[in-house]
Structure 1
Amino acid sequence: MERVVLERREFPDGLGYDVTACHPGATVADYLGAVDAFFERSIWTALRQGCNRTGWNACEGCPGCCRERIPLTVADAVRLALSLPDVAERAQSAGVVTAEDLLQAIEAFGHIHTRGRAVDITLRRTEDGWCGLFNHSTHRCHRHAFRPLVCRTYFCCPVSHRAEKLRQRLLNAGEDELVRRLLLSSKGAELTARGLRLSDYPPGPWSETAGLSLRFESEALLAPLLTGLNLAR
């Protein structure tokens, strides 16, 4: 039985999808798997190109999204950390990713912008506004296997209100948890000096009591994010 169910929907502005059910034990990995599987078995119009292609992986994409703000969640930082050979070797041996590993990933790929007690952690952009992971020669992400959750869950088609609400809650909670983890790292004193407070980022849906498992997305439950969406079954 599918633990997260996505279904096709016709909207006034075209064909899209809705999230229609979530098992109480569904995880972030179940949600991401459902998104992948849904687009794999669906026929979509290639992005604004007027020709039909089959499946998620066949989409050639367009570079428009790669100039947008790309927020990073704690799961994204885990994945990006594991793309770094030295971190991957150490993490595989220990079975967990540490706060220092997350910090190393952010220093390699991300940008931390603070304004008072507000903070935004995003993928770094080039001087002309492109995502730092965008390959201009291929029009592809050159670390596609490690791309952030916001990219993995986006397809340019209409979505229901609750499908978008779930996606946004997932991203927001994931970024908050990344901030919390960085405040607990060696960068914590610097971030505190900028005005951030650990008390503003209490443990939430993405939190764990110890290190971050290499199967983090398979262990983070969706249930805390489903309030008011009428998706639990």
Structure 2
Amino acid sequence: MNQNAPENKVAVIMRRIRGKTGYDVAVRDPAATVEDYLAALDRAILELPLDRGRAPGRRSCAGCDRCCAERLPLTWIDYLNLKAAVDPEAGLADFLAAHAHVLVDGPVVDIILAGGGGGCCLLDPENRTCRAYHARPLVCRTFICCPSTIRARRLRAVLTNRGEDELVRQWLLDARRRGKPPLIHEGYAPRPRMGDWPPTPFAGCSSYREVPLKAVCPPGLWSALTAGSTVAH
């Protein structure tokens, strides 16, 4: 695999980090989208000999569910992808009621995939694989249990958080349109306010191909991702 090939707008590069084989991320084309980043990670997961800390010696994620019981935040586009894959007739509120867990603590909102039997609700309990693998959330698609550089970790966090922010905004808008309180599974003095959730770069988008990485990244992170030099681990 040549991650630096001209057609690869985002490169995932092997790095030795704390004595283990991990990865770094670099943006090669300023027009790169979130989907370009995801595609680069997909290739890396399949092809790079990364040291997987949760499954030493393993070279494939298939059939390994050791990350499937963690908090799995959803983005707006994750919702659209999963809805098409598992519940195409559901509106946002119905989808979240069936497949997610909405926690509100004061003004803070967290929308995650629902658990089931000690793992994600999408986990097949027999073969330990995802029932909607092709539509799995961004947080799943970007996780590799190996070391990564600071800029790689920051990029993953920013995309996950901003994408979830847009889902929260849409959750509030949907409740307003329906004239009902927003769905809350678990609340602690909940007081979500529309004004706390302005539009994000994910607004109006239905695919990760439509979201430029540059629009999501803070300037400092963007500079680090597009810099030619290697950054600290």
The one of 23, 36, 54 aligned to 2:29: 23
Q: Give the one of 69, 74, 89 matched to 1:67.
A: 69
1:118 to 90, 108, 114: 108
Query: Following the alignment from structure 1 to structure 2, what is the Cα–Cα distance between the partners of residues 67 and 110?
Result: 14
Report the equivalent of 2:154: 165
User: Deviation per CA, 1:12-47, whole angstroms, max 9, x where unpaired?
Assistant: 141000012242211111110111122333124566
Q: CA deviation at 1:142?
A: 1.8
**Partner SS state of residue 133, structure 1:** coil
Mapped contact 1:166–1:225 kept (Cα < 8 A): no
- Count of equivalent residues: 211
Q: 1:222 & 1:48 partners in 2: Cα distance?
A: 29
Residue 221 of structure 1 corresponds to 212
Normalized against structure 1, the TM-score is what?
0.81
Deviation, structure 1 residue 207:
1.5
Deviation at 1:62, TM superposition (A): 3.0
- SS at structure 2 position matched to 1:5: strand
Aligned 8 A contact 2:97 2:183 in 1: no
The structure-2 alpha-carbon separation of the partners of 1:63 and 1:39, relative to structure 1 and needing over 3 Å to count, comes to closer
**Contact between 1:72 and 1:175, CA under 8 Å: does it hold in 2?**
yes
Letter in 2 for 1:28: V
C-alpha separation in 1, matches of 2:174 and 2:125: 34
The answer to whether the Cα contact below 8 Å between 1:81 and 1:104 also exists between their aligned partners in 2 is no
Shift of 1:180: 0.4
CA contact (8 A) 2:102 2:183 kept: no
1:23–1:218 distance in 2 versus 1, CA, 3 Å: same
Is 1:195 paired with 2:191? yes
Distance in 1, Cα, partners of 2:51 & 2:12: 18
Identity of aligned residues (%): 36
Please give the per-residue CA displacement for 1:111-135, whole angstroms capped at 9, x wherever unaligned: 1111111111001112x53211112
CA distance in structure 1 between the partners assigned to 2:119 and 2:44 by the alignment: 29
Taking the TM superposition and a 5 Å limit, the aligned residue runs for 1:1-233 are 1=6, 2-45=8-51, 48-51=54-57, 53=59, 58-84=60-86, 86-87=88-89, 101-126=91-116, 128-186=117-175, 189-191=180-182, 194-208=190-204, 212-213=205-206, 216-226=207-217, 227-229=219-221, 230-232=224-226
CA–CA distance in 2 between the matches of 1:22 and 1:106?
37
Contact 1:6 1:35 in 2 (8 A): yes
Question: Gaps (5+ residues) in structure 1?
Answer: 88-99
Separation in 2, partners of 1:217, 1:118: 25
Q: Determine if contact 2:34/2:208 at 8 Å carries over to the other structure.
A: yes
The residue aligned with 2:230 is none
Query: Pairwise CA RMSD of aligned residues?
Result: 2.4
- Deviation of 1:187 after TM superposition, in Å, equals 6.3
TM-score, length basis structure 2: 0.81
